[in-house]
Amino acid sequence: MLGNSQSGSHLPGYTSNALRLFLEGLEQVRESQVLDVGSICGDNITFFARRIKRLYICDMFFHLSRDSRGILPPNQIWKHLDYPPHSFDGILLWNLIDYLNDSQVGRIAALCHDMLKPEGMVLASLAGKSMSGTVPCYFAIKDRFRLEINPKPEIGLSLHIRSNREVLELLSLFTPEKSYLYQNGIREYLLRNN
């Protein structure tokens, strides 16, 4: 059995080494700015807002889900990431890549590449099928970089399972610094823009 489940979660948590490295990298930057494009999670907002200068929130799961229901024309979704180039020292892609097709991953990688400052970092986490089949989930930061994994309401998006090589190829605009595979099947990639 992996780590203990917390209240409200039925999925095993784990301690994130990539998150620790991501934060240590941000601590080297004066007045750091981070963009979180994952699901809205109060714990994560509090965690980062207390530690960095400015936290930008744009829930791309929400926009992707609306897009999949035809509320917005395809490809209009990217207009939500309308931040100027070289804005961020770090971008959090919590579990997002699993729910994008290859074309969409390429698009968001290019956008992140533009939005990141030189030497900026991307933290991408992939749950894949590790979490109770294909139930969508989101990560919530608890004490000391421990991540709780919570199920999300149905978001109507297809899960795309990829090998490590495929993920790195799709994110080849960035230099991989560290990748981790945990016993619970979750993968984390810490990438740098250089």
Partner 1 sequence: MLGKDKNIKTRDESIVTYGGAVSSEEKTVIGKQITIEGTVRGKEDLLVEGSVKGSIELAGNHLTVGLNGQVEADIQAENVTIRGHVTGNVDALAKVSITKEADFNGEIHAKSISVEDGAYLKAVIELEKEPQMKNIRPVKLGDKAASDTSAKPAILTSEADKAK
Smaller CB separation from partner 1, 103 or 121: 121
Among 10, 40, 86, 110, binds partner 1 (CB under 8 A): 40
**Ordered DSSP codes for 97-121:** GGGS-HHHHHHHHHHHHHHEEEEEE
Q: Are 188 and 124 in contact (CB under 8 A)?
A: yes
- Backbone angle region of 119, left / alpha / beta, with phi > 0 → left and psi within -120 to 50 → alpha: left
Q: Is residue 53 part of the contact set for partner 1 (CB under 8 A)? A: yes
Q: Is the dihedral of CA 79, 85, 87, 91 positive or negative?
A: positive
Considering only 2, 111, 135, 157, the residue that binds partner 1 (CB under 8 A) is: 2
Q: What residues between 56 and 95 interact with partner 1 by CB under 8 A?
A: 56-59, 62, 80
Q: C-beta of 67: minimal distance to partner 1 in Å?
A: 15
By the rule CB under 8 A, 173 interacts with partner 1:
no
Alpha carbons 29 and 89: distance in angstroms, whole number = 8
Which CA distances in Å does 172 have to 19, 58, 104, 175? 20, 23, 14, 7
Say whether residue 139 binds partner 1 (CB under 8 A): no
- 92 to 111: interface string for partner 1, x by CB under 8 A: --------------------
Neighbours of 25 (CB within 10 A): 19
Q: Which two tokens stand for residue 53?
A: 């200068």
Q: Of 75, 101, 158, 164, which one interacts with partner 1 (CB under 8 A)?
A: 164
Residues forming the site for partner 1 (CB under 8 A) = 1-3, 12-15, 17, 20, 23-24, 27, 39-42, 45-46, 49-51, 53-59, 62, 80, 138, 140, 144-146, 150, 153, 164, 168, 175-184, 187-188
